[in-house]
Structure 1
Amino acid sequence: MITIKKHIDQLFNDIPVTEESLLMKEEILQSLEDKVDVLMAQGKSEEDAINKAIVELGDLTDLREELSEYRVKIPKSYLAWTHFQFSLIGAALIIGLLLFINVYYTPNVLWVIFPAFGVVWWPLAMYFRCLRLQGRAMN
Structure 2
Amino acid sequence: MKKLKKHVDKLFSDVPDSDEKEVLKQEIYENLQEKVQDLIEQGKDEEDAINKAIVEFGDIDEIKMELVVTKNPLRKNNTKYNLGFSIWGSLLIISLFVFANFYYTPDNIWFVYPTFVVLWWPSVMFYYWRKTR
Q: Which TM class, normalised by the smaller chain length?
A: 0.5 to 0.7
Q: Which residue of 2 aligns with 1:63?
A: 63
C-alpha change, 1:93 and 1:47, in structure 2 (3 Å) is farther
- Cα deviation per residue 1:26-85 (whole Å; 9 max; x = unaligned)? 111111011111111211111101011111111111111111222266xx9xx9xxx8xx
C-alpha change, 1:27 and 1:92, in structure 2 (3 Å) is farther
Pair 1:27-2:27 in alignment: yes
3-state secondary structure, aligned to 2:71: coil
C-alpha change, 1:23 and 1:105, in structure 2 (3 Å) is same
TM-score norm. by structure 1 comes to: 0.58
Counterpart CA distance in 1 for 2:104 and 2:59 is 70
Q: Which residue of 1 aligns with 2:102?
A: 102
Superposed, 1:28-43 pairs within 5 Å as: 28-43=28-43
Question: What letter matches 2:51 in structure 1?
Answer: N
Deviation at 1:9, TM superposition (A): 0.7
In the alignment, structure 1 segments of 5+ residues that lack a partner are 108-139
Question: What letter matches 2:104 in structure 1?
Answer: Y
Alignment coverage as a number of residue pairs = 97
Counterpart CA distance in 2 for 1:98 and 1:47 is 80
In the alignment, structure 2 segments of 5+ residues that lack a partner are 108-133
C-alpha change, 1:93 and 1:27, in structure 2 (3 Å) is same
TM-score norm. by structure 2 comes to: 0.60
Counterpart CA distance in 1 for 2:101 and 2:71 is 46
Counterpart CA distance in 2 for 1:92 and 1:27 is 57
Q: Which residue of 2 aligns with 1:128?
A: none
Counterpart CA distance in 2 for 1:6 and 1:106 is 74
Deviation at 1:105, TM superposition (A): 3.1
